[in-house]
Structure 1
Amino acid sequence: MGSLSSDAPIHVVLFPFMSKGHTIPILDLARHLLLRRLAATITVFTTPSNLPFVSRHLAGTSASAVALPFPGDIPGLPSGVESTDALPSMSLFPAFANAAALMQPSLEAELQRLHPRPTFMVSDGFLWWTLESASKFGIPRLVFYGMSNYAMAVSYASTIENHLRGPMAEDEPFTVNAFPWIKLTKNDFERHFSQPMTEENPYLEFIMKVAVAMGKSNGLVVNSFQELEPAFLEYWNRECVPRAWCVGPLLPLERPVACDPQLQTTWAQWLDRKRAGGERVLYAAFGSQAEIPAAQMREIALGLESSGTSFLWVVKKRESEIIADVDGGFEDRVSGRGMVVREWVGQRDILMHESVHGFLSHCGWNSVLESVWAGVPILAWPMMAEQPLNARMVAEEIGVGLRVEAADGTARGFVRGEGLAKAVRELMEGEKGEAARKKAKEVAEMARKAAEEGGSSWTALEALVEEISRKRKDHTG
């Protein structure tokens, strides 16, 4: 990077989408750029209600956060909601995402004021309109999608081969020519992709805007590492645009500071006691977006109870109310063996805890990577978005987990408590679980080597900054 230091200081603009799962890895990217001195200045754009969260995660760095006003009085959207985490229903997502585009004039006013002039911008793919803003100021735009190469490549191949439309049943297996060893179904994809683009399908219209803007951008920043999915990275860079750069896992580079035992959370103390007793703990969490029906929540509780396994289960407020009514006293019956947490937790800290030997997960990509980094096998139960594809990757492609099976055998079917209990026991005690655990440890070592100095992700980030900075310099003369 010496050739860059002799030129103007590198100023990187980051603009994450207003959702914690999208925001956190971009904030980790900011830390990587600053700690490795690949950027001199970083500006992060967000909204007023998200500013405290962003500022906390940037604490101790020189990065600055700028709040852009989020539009109010949007039909159908609750007043004051500035993050998808706070939406009462994900059916409001298209309205929320489209409302974000009204921030464009405010973004451009701030870009005009920034000094030094930005070298390049990394914006979330969902903020498709930032391409136009970046182009106005001659700023190269990189896209951050927060997805795996596997999910992107398989989705693209399935679409161009026209597997997602037509009369085929939702759970009828098909094979894509590009990856003949993979069996997929329509249910592995969001239903929007198999519907016509009409006024009744605003989600697909939004995705098309995102895809067009991505194709015109200068690169794709991928939170993954080359060794995890080489065939899918190679396919994307051969068949698609823009070029993908694997720079992950995007996790903190700093070593964690030992916590004062007096300041530990209740759940951390509970995990410490389990470790002291030599017990294996299953961590269960389904992210902040999934909407789990009450009947399914009840089956999860009963399944965890009957599994006989120690578990730490993180739930949202609405889910907590459902759990309280499960056969009058669920938490009392599992007291000592199971713990229900109703607060924001440090998921990475939980997965890195020595007592945690399994992760019952919705397979959001951040969660998959955090589990991979910790060497913890996954019991995959996808809920939405590209999570079914991630689940296939986890269980079938890289072998670091098992799948939860629905009662009817479909990808999105109802899961009974007894079926969940059986899957939990297999992950935590069975031969398949031990094989996945061994593989998870091997993949964790691969991830660390990729992120270390000289590793594939380390060098890819350097090369990306070098290339995009050179393009910016050539463009401005």
Structure 2
Amino acid sequence: MEFPNRDNKIPILIVPFPAQGHLNQLLHFSLLLSSHGFPVHFASSSIHNIQARHRLQGWTFASLHNITFHDIPIPSLPPSTPNPNSTHGFPSHLVPIWEFVIHHLRSPISSLLHSLSSSSPLILIHDPLMSFVIDDAASIPSIHTFKFQCAPANYILSYLYESKSKPDILFSPLPDTFPEEVSTFSKKHCYDTPCEGMLFNTSLSIEEPFIDLLAKEDDFVGKKIFTVGPVSPLIVTDRMSGPRHPCLEWLDKQPPKSVVYVAFGSTTTIPVEQIEQIALGLEKSNQRFIWVVRDADRGDVSQDAELERVKSLLLDFDKRVEGIAMVVRGWAPQLDILAHGSTAAFMSHCGWNSYMEGMSMGVAMLTWPMHSDQPSNALLITEYLKVGVMVREWEKRDEVLKWEKVDEAIRKVMVHEEGVEIRTRRRSWERRYGMVLK
């Protein structure tokens, strides 16, 4: 099936998984579709729709009016607090929240499916972790279904190869990327369902060999595969609404390509001992930086202001680095920061959303994976594309990384010849694929 042109006006229903990295990708994709004239419906809990809209970057505020949001009311979420001393980097405190939200979304989304498909065909695009929507759509003949993969093709391929004992093509799934309760949750909610095609937030310039191999796998034969990434804008609108974030005002005053941006995503909570070592490494590097210090999201991010731990951290650090750095406690406009001309490098957990944003904005990557697909994404950057350096190897995930390693990684990219080589390889890679983005 081909996507209809804008004159046909077939509605598209988007059903994201209620976690920031998934919400963000699917909202960006929804805006891309709506910018081409498609009537787009975005359905999630009212709490998560507000979160997705509030944290959106790169688009004008008016662009949101082109999407119909279905803010499904749900009861108050159960309490959830991230644990900085957890034995695993995954935010397991969110698993009960996800179960709760999915339970309360199922009936309203089923009703919405029937309502939107009652008078015309409907295109349904859903996160694989929301596979229940296909069960509910099975009795509706006028629905065309597509899965939107928020993880990269090579990551999915590696698990298919492992399950079928095929030779490794890049690297096998790494150990201990998920705790057991998350694997159980995934098996329950992400299962094989019929669909007409798969959409990936990736590009052939990054993953063409893996897309080609994936298309030959049994689960993908007969299905269309669309590489639609990067779904986030390549030309970033300066602001959504209201005043600019103070960190952007600070960036305006810095020299071009002089700042290291440090952020570990919305699902990472770092122990105090590691935060202290990161702080010392950043300070010793003598490089300009913006560091986002925050804990993993709660279920309802409007409660983040109640988290006092990050406010009490590094109380004298701001003064020590005043003039060359800025510490942001809480949410920061990542896409705006990466798109800024003063930003040169990104120390990241390597979630796929951050990966695609960093790659498309042309910054060098410093990889510090925490869980899930992040360890393999880090290897994709450092071993396959060779456009970044590893800060912490996955094998040392249970250790507190000393400040010297943080300092060393930053200097490799910002000062030493290795950084020059990374930028040269990146320009060569961009020219080869016609993808000079910043």
Shorter-chain TM-score tier: 0.7 to 0.9
Deviation at 1:210, TM superposition (A): 4.2
2 CA distance for matches of 1:202 and 1:136?
Answer: 32
Matches within 5 A, 1:338-357: 338-357=325-344
Match for residue 440 of structure 1 among 420, 426, 436: 426
Structure 2 letter corresponding to 1:48: S
State whether residues 281 and 357 of structure 1, in contact with CA within 8 Å, keep that contact through their aligned partners in structure 2. Answer: yes
2:301 corresponding residue in structure 1: none
Matched, 1:31 2:18: no
Q: Which amino acid aligns with 2:36?
A: R
Q: 1:106 to 1:446 in 2, by over 3 A?
A: farther
**1:413, 1:133 → 2: CA distance?**
45
Q: CA distance change for structure 1 residues 329 and 92 in 2, over 3 Å: closer, same or farther? A: closer
> 1:156 — aligned with what?
160
Selected match of 1:226 from 204, 209, 221 = 204
Residue aligning to 1:137: 140
Structure 1 stretches lacking a partner, 5+ long: 82-88, 162-175, 193-200, 452-477
Identity score, percent:
25
State how far apart, in whole Å, the 1-side matches of 2:3 and 2:126 are: 25
Give runs of aligned pairs for residues 102-121 of structure 1, distance below 5 A.
102=103, 103-114=105-116, 116-121=119-124
Q: Which residue of the other structure, out of 196, 210, 213, is the alignment partner of 1:235?
A: 213
Q: 1:259 to 1:23 in 2, by over 3 A?
A: closer
What TM-score does the superposition give when structure 2 sets the normalisation length? Answer: 0.83
SS of the residue 2:253 aligns to: helix
| C-alpha displacement of 1:443 | 4.5
**Conserved in 1, the CA contact under 8 Å of 2:269 and 2:294?**
no
1:445 Cα shift?
Answer: 5.7
What is the match of residue 370 of structure 1?
357
Contact map agreement 2:347 2:366 (CA 8 A) in 1: yes
Equivalent residue in structure 2 for 1:122, among 122, 125, 128? 125
> CA 1:204–1:35 in 2, change beyond 3 Å: closer, same or farther?
same
Contact 2:158 2:171 (C-alpha < 8 Å) held by counterparts:
no
> What are structure 2's unaligned runs of at least 5 residues?
83-89, 297-306
TM-score by length of 1: 0.76
Instruction: Say whether residues 1:280 and 2:242 are aligned partners.
Output: no
State the shift of 1:12 in Å.
0.4
Match of 1:359 among 326, 330, 346: 346
1:430 lines up with 2:430 in the alignment:
no
**Contact 1:304/1:420, CA 8 A, preserved across alignment:** yes
Amino acid at match of 1:314: V
Choose between structure 1 and 2 for higher RCO, CA contacts under 8 A separated by at least 6 residues.
2
Q: Which residue of 1 aligns with 2:95?
A: 94
- Aligned equivalents of 1:23, 1:245: Cα separation in 2: 19
Shift of 1:257: 4.6
State which of 184, 209, 230 in structure 2 corresponds to 1:205. 184
**Aligned counterpart for 1:177 among listed residues 167, 183, 204:** 167
Q: Please, which moves more after superposition, 409-418 or 128-137?
A: 409-418
CA contact (8 A) 1:153 1:232 kept: yes
**Match of residue 332, structure 1, among 304, 319, 338:** 319
Q: What's the CA shift for 1:303?
A: 1.1
Shift of 1:140: 2.6
Change (3 A) 1:34 1:322: closer
Structural RMSD (CA): 3.3
Q: Which residue of 1 aligns with 2:85?
A: none
Deviation at 1:178, TM superposition (A): 3.7
**Counterpart-to-counterpart distance in 2, 1:183 and 1:4:** 38
What corresponds to 1:166 in structure 2? none
Secondary structure of the residue aligned to 2:345 is strand
Q: Distance in 1 between matches of 2:125 and 2:202?
A: 16
Q: Structure 1 residue 62 and structure 2 residue 66: aligned?
A: yes
Q: In 2 relative to 1, CA 320–392 (structure 1 residues): closer, same or farther, beyond 3 Å?
A: farther
Q: The residue matched to 1:229 in structure 2 has which SS?
A: helix
CA distance in 2, matches of 1:135, 1:32: 27
The Cα of 1:398 is off from its aligned counterpart by 0.9
Residue in structure 2 matched with residue 316 of structure 1 by the alignment = 294
SS in 2 for 1:284: strand
Distance 1:54 1:420, change over 3 A: closer
- Inter-partner Cα distance in structure 2 for 1:123 and 1:259: 28
Measure the CA separation in 2 of the matches of 1:310 and 1:217: 48
| 1:372/1:443 contact within 8 Å kept | no
Would the alpha carbon gap of residues 131 and 445 (structure 1) be closer, same or farther in structure 2, given more than 3 Å must change? farther
CA distance in 1, matches of 2:257, 2:212: 42
- Once residues 450 and 71 of structure 1 are traced to their aligned partners in structure 2, the CA distance between those partners, rounded to angstroms, is 46
Q: Is the CA contact 1:374–1:444 (under 8 Å) kept in the aligned structure 2?
A: no
Shift of 1:184: 4.8
Distance 2:272 2:182 in 1: 26
Cα distance in 2 between the residues matched to 1:202 and 1:258: 40
Q: Determine the structure 2 residue equivalent to 1:307.
A: 285
Superimposed CA distance per residue, residues 397-440 of structure 1 (whole angstroms, 9 cap, x where no aligned partner): 1111110136x963553211111111111111122222222333
Shift of 1:131: 1.2
**Amino acid across the alignment from 2:293:** V
For 1:93-151, what per-residue CA distance to the aligned partner results, in whole angstroms no more than 9, with x for missing partners? 43333333322111112222226545211111111211112213232321122111111
CA distance in 1, matches of 2:335, 2:2: 34
Count of aligned positions: 408
Distance 2:4 2:338 in 1: 38
In the alignment, the residues of structure 1 paired with residue 172 and residue 4 of structure 2 have an alpha-carbon distance, to the nearest angstrom, of 45
How big is each residue's C-alpha offset from its partner over 1:28-78, in whole Å with a ceiling of 9 and x where there is no partner? 1112212223x2x111101122233445657434210012233557xxx32
Q: Which of the pair is proportionally richer in helix? A: 1
- The SS at the match of 2:254 is helix
Q: Alignment partner of 1:341: what SS?
A: strand
What is the match of residue 249 of structure 2? Answer: 269
Q: Which amino acid aligns with 1:106?
A: P
- The CA deviation at 1:207 is 2.2
Tell me, in whole angstroms, the C-alpha distance in 2 between the residues paired with 1:96 and 1:273. Answer: 41
**Cα gap change, 1:42 to 1:404, in 2 (>3 Å):** same
Which one is further off, 48-57 or 143-152?
Answer: 48-57
CA distance in 1 between counterparts of 2:428 and 2:327 reads: 31
In structure 1, what is the Cα distance between the partners aligned to 2:331 and 2:40?
A: 27
Contact 1:317 1:342 in 2 (8 A): no
